[in-house]
């Protein structure tokens, strides 16, 4: 029986990607060895790394001004690697506080320079994206493009000449980025919308580097990894391979424009039902609703557990909301099929007819 995977991360991948990954665990390429037991310096793996990087460049239209890295330590390590590498101790960076992940990024950045929190939606339970003016003196502006826990997402990016640093962990590759040159750094833990857990995609504009005078440990210095094509030390070979497969899948399925149309259509089906159904209500402000993480509640606390049991009986996995928001969260990443959203919607209708 097929399950419908609505988990927030690690999350759904296309079946074809997992089948190819499984096959490579058996034997990879023409080597007669498993992908799990080959050298990261073998020409076969070097080709994987190169293809993964090339696909990222192609899908996002990146120029040579940017480096593409596959690192470890999760998006959480980028919370400190970004300021450590590009914020000199007397410099100021601006942060927009849109939830748990932004708050964590702010805490780490304060270790390295002056941090101005330009706006926060904390008072409103992070249910919307504040849009502050961005002063010109900032070294960079940090945003969280999609707030995985609260279900809010930037629909357009701030209009500023300050380089934007974006945590795109939960919406990387969900749509094309019109003006990539606005961005100084983009980072994303792979395990939401790209691949399995174990690697973090980091895209850095190279001219931002080399301008701080603090000592940076070798492993935490972007320049180390740029010079060695993400293979200064042993990279996470298997997660990078699966990310590459997933990027191939994205390209073969039409790229980011097509993916955006699918994602918007999937999200619309679900939000329309949340708005129509007398039992449910959306959490996020309408104009900031995420097309990746759809958060909603039920109007009768007694029914919350019942609805979760009901959908679980019908093969829906991972619908429980984050503990800090409660209710439900449907993570509908790139690889989640439209049929899965229709299945959830039909269960919401059925539950309404049982309980309204
Ligand atoms: C999950 C998540 C993180 C944390 O990612 P790790 O790779 O576990 O460190 C950071 N930011 C956002 C927006 C996330 O969704």
Confidence band for 29, pLDDT divided at 50, 70 and 90:
confident
From atom 3 of ligand 1, which residue's Cα is the shortest distance away? 75
Domain match, 105 and 231 both? yes
Task: Ligand 1 pocket test: pick from 10, 74, 143, 333 the residue with the most ligand atoms within 8 Å of its Cβ.
Answer: 74
pLDDT for res 356: 83
Query: Residue 167 catalytic?
Result: yes
Pocket flag, ligand 1, residue 144 (CB < 6 Å): yes
Domain match, 223 and 298 both? no
- Among residues 227, 252, 277, the one where a domain terminates is 252
* Residue 338 CA to ligand 1 centre (angstroms): 25
Domain match, 218 and 305 both? no
pLDDT for res 20: 98
From atom 1 of ligand 1, which residue's Cα is the shortest distance away? 169
Bridge partners for 186 per DSSP = 166, 203
* pLDDT above 90 (res 190): yes
Q: Does the global pTM surpass 0.85?
A: yes
Tell whether 272 is covered by a domain. Answer: yes
* pLDDT above 80 (res 159): yes
Tell whether 4 is covered by a domain. Answer: no
* Residue 328 CA to ligand 1 centre (angstroms): 19
Domain match, 171 and 26 both? yes
Domain total in the chain? 2
- Could you report the per-residue pLDDT of 65-89, keeping only the tens digit for each? 999 999 999 999 999 999 999 999 9
> Containing domain of residue 291, as a range?
255-355
Q: Give CA separation, 315 vs 1, 12, 312, 319, in Å.
A: 8, 14, 5, 11
* pLDDT above 70 (res 147): yes
**Among 97, 101, 262, 266, the one annotated catalytic:** 101
Tell whether 237 is covered by a domain. Answer: yes
**Among 97, 167, 171, 288, the one annotated catalytic:** 167
In ligand 1, the atom with minimum distance to the C-alpha of 9 is 1
Query: Residue 249 catalytic?
Result: no
Tell whether 307 is covered by a domain. Answer: yes
Angstrom distance (rounded) from CA 182 to CA 207: 13
Domain match, 284 and 151 both? no
pLDDT for res 155: 97
Determine contact, residues 12/5, Cβ cutoff 8 Å.
Answer: yes
Tell whether 41 is covered by a domain. Answer: yes
Tell whether 321 is covered by a domain. Answer: yes
Domain match, 244 and 326 both? no
Tell whether 137 is covered by a domain. Answer: yes
Domain match, 99 and 214 both? yes
Tell whether 6 is covered by a domain. Answer: no
Confidence band for 30, pLDDT divided at 50, 70 and 90:
confident
* Residue 192 CA to ligand 1 centre (angstroms): 8
Domain match, 219 and 112 both? yes
- Among residues 213, 232, 252, the one where a domain terminates is 252
Domain match, 209 and 262 both? no
CATH number, domain with residue 266: 3.90.1150.10
* pLDDT above 70 (res 1): no
Pocket flag, ligand 1, residue 169 (CB < 6 Å): yes
CATH number, domain with residue 212: 3.40.640.10
Domain match, 245 and 322 both? no
* pLDDT above 80 (res 161): yes
Angle (deg, nearest 10), helices 301-313 and 338-355: 130
Pocket flag, ligand 1, residue 101 (CB < 6 Å): yes
- Among residues 201, 236, 252, the one where a domain terminates is 252
Domain match, 58 and 142 both? yes
- Could you report the per-residue pLDDT of 286-335, keeping only the tens digit for each? 999 999 999 999 999 999 999 999 999 999 999 999 999 999 999 999 99
Pocket flag, ligand 1, residue 189 (CB < 6 Å): yes
Query: Residue 124 catalytic?
Result: no
Domain match, 30 and 149 both? yes
């Amino acid at each position: 029986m097929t399950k419908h995977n609505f988990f927030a991360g690690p999350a759904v991948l296309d079946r074809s990607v997992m089948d190819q990954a499984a096959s490579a665990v058996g034997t990879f390429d023409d080597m007669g060895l498993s992908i799990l037991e080959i050298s990261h310096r073998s020409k076969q793996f070097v080709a994987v790394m190169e293809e993964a990087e090339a696909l990222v460049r192609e899908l996002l239209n990146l120029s040579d001004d940017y480096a593409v890295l596959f690192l470890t330590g999760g998006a959480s390590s980028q919370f400190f690697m970004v300021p450590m590498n590009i914020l000199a101790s007397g410099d100021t960076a601006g942060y927009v506080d849109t939830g748990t992940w932004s708050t964590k990024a702010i805490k780490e950045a304060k270790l390295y320079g002056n941090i101005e929190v330009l706006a926060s939606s904390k008072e409103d339970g992070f249910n919307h994206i504040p849009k502050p003016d961005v002063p010109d003196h900032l070294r960079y502006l940090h945003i969280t493009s999609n707030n995985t826990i609260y279900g809010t997402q930037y629909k357009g990016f701030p209009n500023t000449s300050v380089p934007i640093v974006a945590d795109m962990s939960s919406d990387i590759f969900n749509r094309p980025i019109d003006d990539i040159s606005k961005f100084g750094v983009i980072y994303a833990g792979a395990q939401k919308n790209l691949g399995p857990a174990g690697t973090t995609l980091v895209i850095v504009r190279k001219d931002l580097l080399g301008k701080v005078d603090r000592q940076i440990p070798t492993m935490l210095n972007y320049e180390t990894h740029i010079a060695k094509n993400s293979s200064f030390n042993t990279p996470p070979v298997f997660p990078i391979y699966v990310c590459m497969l997933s990027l191939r899948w994205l390209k073969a399925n039409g790229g980011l424009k097509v993916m955006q149309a699918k994602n918007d259509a999937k999200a619309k089906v679900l939000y329309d039902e949340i708005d129509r159904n007398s039992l449910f209500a959306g959490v996020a402000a309408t104009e900031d609703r995420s097309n990746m993480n759809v958060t909603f509640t039920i109007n009768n606390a007694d029914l919350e557990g019942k609805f979760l049991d009901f959908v679980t009986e019908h093969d829906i996995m991972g619908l429980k909301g984050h503990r800090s928001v409660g209710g439900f969260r449907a993570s509908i990443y790139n690889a989640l099929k439209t049929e899965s959203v229709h299945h959830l919607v039909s269960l919401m209708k059925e539950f309404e007819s049982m309980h309204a």
